[in-house]
Chain A
Amino acid sequence: MNISDTIWMSVHNLWSRKGRSLLNLSGVVVSCVLLLLTLAGTRGGREGILDIMNASEQTKRFMIFGSHDRSAKVPDEALAVPDGVSEGRRERLLQQLEKEWRNKNAKRIRLNPEHMAKLRSIEQVHSIVWQNPVQCRLEWVEKAFDNQTGVETDASERAKPTSGSLIGIDPADVRTSNRLLLGEMISRDDQQGVMIDEVTAYKLGFRTDDDLAKLIGLELEISCSLGKAAANSATNLLAGIENLLSSETIGLLRRVTKQLDRTDLSDQEKTAIKNAMKLLPSSEPSIDSAKDRAPKTQSADTPDDVRIDAKGNRTLVRSGIVRGILKQPEDDDLFGFLQFTGVQRRANVYVHHHVTEEIYSRRVGFVDYWAVAGSVSAVADLPEAIERIESLGFRTRSALGIVEKVDKEVGKVRLAAGALALVILIVAAIGICNTMIVAVFERTTEFGIMKSLGAEDRHVLNLVLLEGLITGVIGAAVAVVTSYGAARLISQIARSWIEDRLNGRFDQAVFSFHPVDVIIVFVIAALMCILASLLPAWRAAKMNPIAAMKRT
């Protein structure tokens, strides 16, 4: 008896007992629909949440900080917590003691340019950008100004030098490119291009829309202080402090220092603060003395783009061409969070982040970048990216906790719904087993006749099992179609319900069907029906033909 005949006979048997077959089929369909909707619903829910997260660029971002070497072994005596401390408190104390020991004793892993290259090589990382502003002095290059714009009115006003901040951006970052108002974005390899935001342009005297257009192509001279050339370790430290503080903050500190006499501090403390403040170098190059900018002690070792004045102050000078104008960032943009308040009131010039990183790393007293911002293309890449970054020894802050929590919660729902579907599957399997036992009982004579004509046990066994398998496969196929229909209907109702409550559009998928889920449903349905058919098939196969035919 070949397989095609067995299949044909099984189909014929199922068709000739339509009522019973439909009963079994309905059990399979109902359980498979529930299973598939559970799988698609939980997947859709997770994807919906991830879609919402992906829509927010902030969720895809993370911060990376330098850290202390976590591989260093903390001695037991540093972690000595006495008995009589509750478990939770002990845990917290141990964590804090370990942290303190590492801060004090472990080697610090600093974010340097080499690390930046390593971080950028991580596959899941979309961008790594050091975004802290670099203080600078900006001056329009007269010639380019006149030649390119032909604007004569208040040209001198606009041509005046001004202080500003260079802010590094990633040209590929959609959060920046989405802000493009005029012109074009700086390209991936463009180290000379400059973007100016609309408010800065306004402050610089380019107020009307026509004026803004005239900015494109203008050349800027950008001067950034690199600190004193011959600096000792103390000035290195102070330069480092200066790098972290805006000029406004330093100015504020100077004003506070002048008011020290009004405080309750001791004379010794006042003197110490005054001495420390004297050490602070000027935070930015002078903007009103063109003479100061002239190189006075330029040596052969000094790079071409660096000028050194008589006091030994090093200034990096480079030119930039305005490529485009940016709209103001949205309120929820991390730019706003990262920039110091003082910077907002000054000229903001956006350049390729490699430029700011290079300038910053060339400053006297450069130690590390302290913190950089990174991003991934999709929230789903976040766990892997964070894991790999942390494996390099850095600390991170990101929305990973939220993503993991969502995954955990969705996992719980999936598990609960899956367990429910499993119970329904078991009940359906018992039902199918029951109806098949009855069917086999009813077909006792038929199996007896078959055996009297030469059917072997395996022929009968295969026949009944195949009937179960066909029921399972057809049931799963019907269930897939039904599930798609049901999902569309439920999605429409759910969308309408959610949109009513959100008072806005809701485009996220409620159900997400994945080929793997469909395969799972087919496999489970087939296995369930085969298992349910096993006992009846065994009984049929082992039937005594003489006894079976006597039932006629």
Chain B
Amino acid sequence: MIHARKLSRHYGESSNRVTALDSIDLTIDSGSRVGILGRSGSGKTTLLNLLAGLDRPTDGSLSVADQELQKLTASQLAQYRRETVGVIFQSFQLIPNRSAFQNVELPLILAGANTADRKRRVDEAIDRVGLTKRSRHKPSELSGGEQQRVAVARAMVSRPKVLLADEPTGNLDSKTAQSVTELMLEMVEENGSTLILITHDRHLAESCCDRIVHLLDGRLLDEHTGSTGGQA
């Protein structure tokens, strides 16, 4: 499903050059749940950006769902983002002047889905995250947990093969974080998606994932199985 070979990402030139990812080799099977653990600056988010098609590797290759990301054009990469991956960000990244419904609808609009199909799928997604009554509210009128539920619905509405979650509970209290995590896992399960969870929270990674990868200074340290033991 996901194959990274000698994957590197450097920023800057010559003396100012910073290595965010340094020659990583990684293979992730389809339908698995992988936690990527590491401290700040370890390269977690850089890896997520590469997997999400938001950035391009400096060296090496990255293949997701049989697509060599480094070879794709800008337009193909945008299509990859629309159709293959869904991303959940720590800070929700909802468009402030659009309602919950409209935020969830956005990926489908970009994919060119027709209005009727769009409405049905968005209603289902919103209903799935339990925000039917709040669907006309704007993000500023929703709590943090509700906003992240909207973000989960938006990430999953186009039924992506890969769900990338970057510290999805980082801005939530523990109780809300628990419910959002459960929701996310349920939806991944229902959709049969591959989950890549970027976090620095070992407990969260261990509770959600069947495989945990450690990153330090842009290098892959080691990996072990999580509490789910591969029984996703």
Contact = CB atoms under 8 A, between A and B. Distances in A.
A1 B109 contact: yes
A9 B97 CA distance: 11
A449 B82 contact: no
Contact of A549 (B83, B89, B98): B89
Interface in B101-123: 102, 106-107, 109-112
A454 B83 contact: yes
Contact of B97 (A13, A450, A549): A13
A468 to B, nearest CB: 18
A517 interface: no
B93 interface: yes
Which secondary structure dominates where chain A touches chain B?
A: helix
Given A1-B112, A546-B54, A452 B106 contact: no
B54 A456 contact: no
A169 B70 CA distance: 92
B78 A16 contact: no
B54 to A, nearest CB: 5
Contacts of A455: 78, 110
A454 B97 CA distance: 19
Nearest to A455: B110
Interface string A373-384: 000000000000
Contact of B74 (A9, A12, A450, A457): A457
A16 B107 contact: no
A105 to B, nearest CB: 79
A545 B109 contact: no
Nearest to B106: A453
B113 to A, nearest CB: 9
A463 to B, nearest CB: 11
Given A2-B112, A552-B91, A456 B74 contact: yes
B100 interface: no
A452 B110 contact: no
B112 A546 contact: no
A452 B81 contact: yes
Contacts of B231: none
A17 B95 CA distance: 13
A451 interface: yes
Contact of A454 (B49, B96, B107): B107
Contacts of A267: none
Contacts of A456: 74-75, 78
B89 A453 contact: no
B189 interface: no
A16 B106 contact: no
B201 interface: no
A453 B55 contact: no
A53 B79 CA distance: 68
Interface in A413-461: 445-446, 448-457, 459
A459 B55 CA distance: 19
A452 B87 contact: yes
A16 B112 contact: no
B154 interface: yes
Most buried by B among A5, A13, A449, A453: A453
A546 B110 contact: no
Which secondary structure dominates where chain B touches chain A?
A: helix
A135 B111 CA distance: 94
Nearest to A449: B93
Contacts of B81: 451-454
Interface in B170-190: none
Contact of B82 (A13, A446, A454): A454
B78 A546 contact: no
B78 to A, nearest CB: 4
Given A16-B97, A549-B89, A549-B93, A451 B109 contact: no
Interface string A1-34: 1100100010011001100000000000000000
A552 B107 CA distance: 20
Contacts of B109: 1, 5, 9
Contacts of A5: 109
A453 B75 contact: no
B52 interface: yes
Contact of B79 (A16, A452, A454): A454
A450 B106 contact: yes
Given A17-B97, A456-B78, A457-B74, A450 B55 contact: no
Contacts of B79: 454
Contact of A452 (B74, B93, B97): B93
A459 B78 CA distance: 11
Interface in A257-302: none
Interface string B126-141: 0000000000000000
Contacts of B87: 452
Interface string A541-552: 000011001001
A453 B91 contact: no
Contacts of B96: 446
Contacts of A457: 74
Contacts of A546: 49, 54-55
A459 B79 CA distance: 12
A459 B75 CA distance: 11
Interface string A126-158: 000000000000000000000000000000000
Most buried by B among A5, A13, A546, A549: A5
Most buried by B among A449, A450, A454: A454
A549 to B, nearest CB: 6
A449 B89 CA distance: 10
Nearest to A448: B93
Nearest to B87: A452
Contact of A450 (B83, B110, B111): B110
Nearest to B81: A454
A372 B97 CA distance: 78
A2 B82 CA distance: 15
Interface in A512-552: 545-546, 549, 552
Interface in A195-218: none
Given A449-B95, A552-B93, A454 B54 contact: no
A112 B97 CA distance: 83
Nearest to B92: A552
Contacts of B111: 454
A378 B81 CA distance: 68
Contacts of B55: 546
Interface of B: 49, 52, 54-55, 74-75, 78-83, 87, 89, 91, 93-98, 102, 106-107, 109-112, 154
The 10 tightest CB contacts between A and B, nearest first, are A454-B82, A454-B81, A16-B97, A456-B78, A454-B110, A453-B107, A5-B109, A449-B93, A446-B95, A454-B78
22 contacts: A1-B112, A12-B98, A16-B98, A446-B95, A446-B97, A448-B93, A449-B93, A450-B110, A451-B54, A452-B52, A452-B81, A452-B87, A452-B93, A453-B82, A454-B80, A454-B82, A454-B110, A454-B111, A456-B74, A456-B78, A552-B91, A552-B93
Given A5-B109, A454-B81, A454-B107, 7 more contacts: A446-B96, A448-B93, A450-B106, A452-B93, A453-B110, A453-B154, A454-B80
